């Protein structure tokens, strides 16, 4: 069986925790951020878990991310 390649775009946008969760950063952080309320700007700094329907696709894009 040949080695599988990791998708580099997914590698830069997602990371996998030690417990196996796939974490992502919210979009919309960089452009037109100054005019948003302070509470909204603070929410952009959080990393959140990827949605359930996306997880199988992300696992295929990063085959060696999980043990």
In a domain, 2, yes or no: no
In a domain, 1, yes or no: no
DSSP 14: E
Contacts of 26 (CB under 8 A, 6+ apart): 43, 44, 46, 48
- 41 lies in which domain range? 8-61
CATH code assigned at 20:
4.10.410.60
Quote the Cα angle for 20-24-30, to 5°.
165
Q: What is the pTM of this model?
A: 0.77
In a domain, 66, yes or no: no
In a domain, 38, yes or no: yes
As for how many domains the chain has, the answer is 1
Q: What is the pLDDT of residues 2-58, one digit of tens each?
A: 999 999 999 999 999 999 999 999 888 888 888 989 998 888 888 999 999 999 999
């Amino acid at each position: 069986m040949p080695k599988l390649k990791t998708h580099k775009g997914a590698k830069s946008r997602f990371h996998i925790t030690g417990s196996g969760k796939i974490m992502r950063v919210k979009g919309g952080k960089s452009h037109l951020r100054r005019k948003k309320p302070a509470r909204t700007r603070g929410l952009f700094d959080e990393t959140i878990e990827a949605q359930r329907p996306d997880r199988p696709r992300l696992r295929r894009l990063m085959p060696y991310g999980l043990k």
